Amino acid sequence: MLFCLASFSVSLAISQTTPSWFTAKEVGPKIWQISDHGSDNIYLVEGKKSAMLVDNGLGTADLASFVKTLTSKPLIVVITHGHPDHAGSDYQFEKVYIHQADAEAAKAFNRPDSRAASAKTMQAGNAPAEGELYKGKIFETELIPVSEGKIFNLGGRKIQVIETPGHTPGGICLLDIKNKILFTGDNNNTLVWLFLGNCKPLHEYLVTLEKQLAGISEFTTLMPGHGVPMPSDFINDQIACVKGILDSTLERKEYKSFAGNSMVCAFGRASVAFNPDNL
């Protein structure tokens, strides 16, 4: 399936008037992966009636205008979780859907001072050029709660919310039912962070992964918030990794990042950075 999807991969010609901060490529049928200048992946999924933006990046550049170069359909913005590299552009949109448990975090990261701080630590490369900065209205964004089973009908294309607590308490994945594609935020990256202060204990994250495995017939491809698309069986490696941490059969190494130090284990294609005091 991954090879099928690759055939849709088309680099878009960027005109001189289009901001260069973002780049987009079509990674599936009417699915664009938008690179937030290399920091994170944002996805745009278009149906016959409307389009969905899955996550909105760091918020340092004018995403709202860039999205208009890709679709003219009315936009539904949904956030997989409340971290600043996924929910940082909420302020550019009037309404954003998010799980209730991550709403406060998303709000906190949409203040100018928070945005500046996350740009400093998480942004890849230099700051956006003056012409790429957001110049539109700063919205008092309405955060609309979503929960398990909610279905967005984009017109000939339905997207279903699946709750996946772990990396954050209110993390969700979004399933493109017809095309069997799962947008996974930070839940199924090749390296998943489970050591942050508000992460769920590792054994609860294992429950989330086993829930995904139980529904694996519903999707063939994972579209992560960082990195490249992965086949769905990647989840088996993640489960083996978490089990190997919990039963202490995997070698633990130190892991350092701007967000703090922790331990990390690897199994197959998967790595999980975790807090030994929050298993």
Q: How far is the CB of 80 from Zn ion (least distance, A)?
A: 8
* DSSP reduced 3-state for 143: strand
Applying CB under 5 A, which of residues 73, 83, 157, 200 lies at the interface with Zn ion? 83
CB of 82 or CB of 244, closer to Zn ion: 82
CB of 26 or CB of 186, closer to Zn ion: 186
Q: How far is the CB of 123 from Zn ion (least distance, A)?
A: 15
CB of 73 or CB of 205, closer to Zn ion: 205
DSSP-derived letter for residue 11 is B
Stretch in the footprint of Zn ion (CB under 5 A) among 53-61, 133-141, 184-192, 247-255 = 184-192
CB of 83 or CB of 157, closer to Zn ion: 83
Bridge partners of 263, per DSSP, are 254, 274
How many residues contact Zn ion, by CB under 5 A?
2
CA distance linking residue 81 with residue 98, whole number of Å: 7
CB of 58 or CB of 175, closer to Zn ion: 58
Bridge partners of 253, per DSSP, are 264
Q: Give the C-alpha distances (Å, rounded to integers) separating 58 from 6, 111, 215, 272.
A: 26, 12, 31, 23
State whether the Cα torsion 236-237-242-247 is positive or negative. positive
Show the tokens assigned to 99: 């799980």
Work out the number of other CB atoms within 10 angstroms of the CB of residue 50: 17
Tell which positions 98-117 bind Zn ion, by CB under 5 A. Answer: none
Q: How far is the CB of 10 from Zn ion (least distance, A)?
A: 28
Contact between 186 and Zn ion (CB under 5 A)? yes
CA distance linking residue 165 with residue 60, whole number of Å: 27
Q: How far is the CB of 218 from Zn ion (least distance, A)?
A: 23
Q: How far is the CB of 247 from Zn ion (least distance, A)?
A: 26
Contact residues for Zn ion, defined by CB under 5 A = 83, 186
